[in-house]
Amino acid sequence: MSKAETQQTEDEGRITNVSGPVVEAKGLDARMNDVVRVGEEELMGEVIEIEGGVTIIQVYEETSGISPGEPVITTGAPLSVELGPGILDSIYDGVQRPLDILEEEMGDFLDRGVDAPGIDLEKNWDFTPEVEEGDEVGEGDIVGTVPETESIDHKVMVPPDVEGTVSEVNEGEYTVEEPVVVLEDGTEITMLQEWPVRKARPVERKQTPRTPLQTGQRILDTLFPIAKGGTAAIPGPFGSGKTVTQHQLAKWSDADIVVYVGCGERGNEMTEVIDDFPELEDPKTGKPLMSRTSLIANTSNMPVAARESCIYTGITLAEYYRDMGYDVALMADSTSRWAEAMREISSRLEEMPGEEGYPAYLAASLAEFYERGGRVETLGGYDGSISVIGAVSPPGGDFSEPVTQNTLRIVKCFWALDADLAERRHFPAINWNDSYSLYKSQLDDFFADEVDEGWAETRQWAVGILDEEADLQEVVQLVGKDALPEDQQLTLEVARYIREVFLQQDAFHDVDTYCDLNKQFEMLRLIRKFNDLAFDALDAGVPVDEIQDVDAAPRMFNIPTEEDWEPLAEEIDEELDKEFGELS
């Protein structure tokens, strides 16, 4: 937004009422969703309702001490983010103010009334053009690149609604506000774009996702895979490991770019991310993880209105990188806090509440948010995707509450966290009976080509065993394991290996924290081999006790934590053959 335009629409009103984050003003000529400056301290706010002469504003900062009569000034522009090089390797608050700059300006505690640009306007970036004078460029086309971080090249794009013939190309070092390409009609293209956060960035068309987002988490990749461009929800009661799972995904998933939104969660958790990520290496590139990551931190004690906006800020940043043709993964932890922020604002507005006090537009807002994910052909004709993974924190762990239910209607992957499993220290505590993924069939071709033809079939086998175990457990609860027939005891034994060797994965172990697809398949294949040999032996009359005493089987427990696992797997494979050979 240029200065001239701002002044045209700028107008001043007066505060008439203050109630927490909701402020009413009169005499203000503002549009819906425009950003306004509230009070003498110029706190940042957004117009959320216009009623007769009264404008209702939600304020992104603490409002104590603000009184009626103080001025309200509109900026004439909706809440926008600044898009350009420098977004990666940054940590922002919910309205894209860089937290490190805020720390420099106001110390250890977040004060109010301080503004800082989302992107460093003074830093010079080395622009390498990809177009020449005379080239025709259209919206979304890439005109050049800038090395943003060690691992990511930032692509400078023609903004939406701009097209023409290139008349000037400036190679070399420039700030984000200086033109790097000029079109014949005089339009200047800089590295900086602004975009209103509540409006999805346009795309050419949506496409069907067909490649998996590889997460290195066995239960996810094998049993409940998500596609690049897919949507997933992780609901779970407190203490079941939502945040650890989100962190694992942010660390190990094979997306090009990760946007991590900490929405209304713990301060110390964000600090952990800030501390850890710069030190961790991307398993693909070996570069620091932070160089492909942008963090948005709105902790639970930061202003509630900024919590409402942080989700939109995050998805807009993600869309921008998607438009460059990158695969982006967006983690939102937690969408329940976002919904609660909506509820809080809504109740201050005295809107008619829907279910459990949430606003009636909850379902629409959630759907709109997840719909901004997906695999697309961009305006410039590139292939990009946003995978959206939202944590949900249902009150009391009850999945029938409105946020979980409305989320489930939209997302295609459901990773249900389970307090019982967590209590048993079975991590990740993802319940294999309740979870599902609707991407399985469209991803099976990929797994068959890239890993093994038998991928889908082996997975189905494992699911079958686990289902059978769930049924048998009910009987065991009543009569004890030893009262079961031998073949059922053996099934339980096999299921135990699937659970304890394969499904359990130690996020804090250096090796086990990431497991590639080949290792996943091989582990499951070994367990299945044990299964097949064991049932053959049982048929041949070997008692189940002897089968359970086969020494090679428990050695499978060592595979997850073994870095050089292939020789070990081979050894176990051979020993299984040998020992079972001796048994029968």
Partner 1 sequence: MKEYKTITEISGPLVFVEVDEPVGYDEIVEIKLSDGSTKRGQVLESGEEIVSLQVFEGTDELDRSSSVRFLGETMKMPVTEDLLGRVLSGRGEPIDGGADIVPEERRDIIGAAINPHAREYPDEFIQTGVSAIDGMNTLVRGQKLPIFSGSGLPHNELALQIARQADVRDDIGAEDDADTEDEEFAVIFGAMGITQEEANEFLEEFERTGALERSVVFQNLADDPAVERIVTPRMALTTAEYLAFDKGYHVLVILTDMTNYCEALREIGAAREEVPGRRGYPGYMYTDLANLYERAGRIEGKEGSVTQIPILTMPGDDDTHPIPDLTGYITEGQIYIDRRLESEGREPPVNVLPSLSRLMDDGIGEGYTREDHGDVANQLYAAYAEGNDLRDLVNIVGREALSERDNRFLDFADAFEGELIDQGWDTNRTIEETLGIAWDLLSTLPKTEMKRIDDDFVEKYYVGEDEAEEEEAEAAA
Residues 89-118 that bind partner 1 (CB under 8 A): 91, 99-100, 102-103, 106-112
Look at residues 26, 65, 60 and name the one whose alpha carbon lies nearest to residue 43. Answer: 60
Nearer of residues 193 and 336 to partner 1, judged by Cβ: 336
> d(Cα 451, Cα 276) in Å, to the nearest integer?
31
> d(Cα 336, Cα 243) in Å, to the nearest integer?
13
Alpha helices in 387-485 (DSSP H): 402-408, 419-423, 440-450, 455-479
Quick one: which segment of 119-127, 283-291, 317-325, 480-488 binds partner 1 (CB under 8 A)? 480-488
> d(Cα 580, Cα 321) in Å, to the nearest integer?
54
Other CB atoms within 10 A of residue 404 CB: 22
Positive/negative CA dihedral, 262, 263, 268, 271: positive
Nearer of residues 243 and 520 to partner 1, judged by Cβ: 243
Let me know: does 505 contact 559? Beta carbons within 8 Å. no
Least Å from the CB of residue 403 to partner 1: 12
Least Å from the CB of residue 81 to partner 1: 19
Quick one: which segment of 173-181, 352-360, 464-472, 565-573 binds partner 1 (CB under 8 A)? 352-360
Nearer of residues 107 and 286 to partner 1, judged by Cβ: 107
Nearer of residues 65 and 134 to partner 1, judged by Cβ: 65
Residue 389: left if φ>0, alpha if ψ -120 to 50, beta else—which one? beta
- For partner 1, the binding residues in 512-541 under the rule CB under 8 A are none
Nearer of residues 409 and 424 to partner 1, judged by Cβ: 424
- For partner 1, the binding residues in 45-64 under the rule CB under 8 A are 62-64
Build a one-symbol-per-residue string for 144-183: x at contacts with partner 1 by CB under 8 A, - elsewhere: ----------------------------------------
- Does 69 engage in binding with partner 1 (CB under 8 A)? yes
Tell me which of 344, 469, 512, 579 binds partner 1, using CB under 8 A: 344
Least Å from the CB of residue 217 to partner 1: 18
156-159 contacts at long range (C-beta below 8 A, 24 or more positions apart): 156/127, 156/180, 156/181, 156/189, 156/191, 157/193, 157/323, 157/324, 157/380, 158/189, 158/380, 159/189, 159/193
- Does 16 engage in binding with partner 1 (CB under 8 A)? yes
- Does 400 engage in binding with partner 1 (CB under 8 A)? no
Tell me which of 266, 287, 529, 555 binds partner 1, using CB under 8 A: 266
- For partner 1, the binding residues in 269-288 under the rule CB under 8 A are 270-272, 274-275
- For partner 1, the binding residues in 203-232 under the rule CB under 8 A are none
What DSSP line would sit under 31-58, residue for residue?
-TTEEEEETTTTEEEEEEEEETTEEEEE
Least Å from the CB of residue 12 to partner 1: 16
- Does 267 engage in binding with partner 1 (CB under 8 A)? yes
Tell me which of 184, 356, 445, 577 binds partner 1, using CB under 8 A: 356
- Does 27 engage in binding with partner 1 (CB under 8 A)? no
> d(Cα 169, Cα 130) in Å, to the nearest integer?
9
Phi, psi of 296 (to 5 degrees): -120, 120
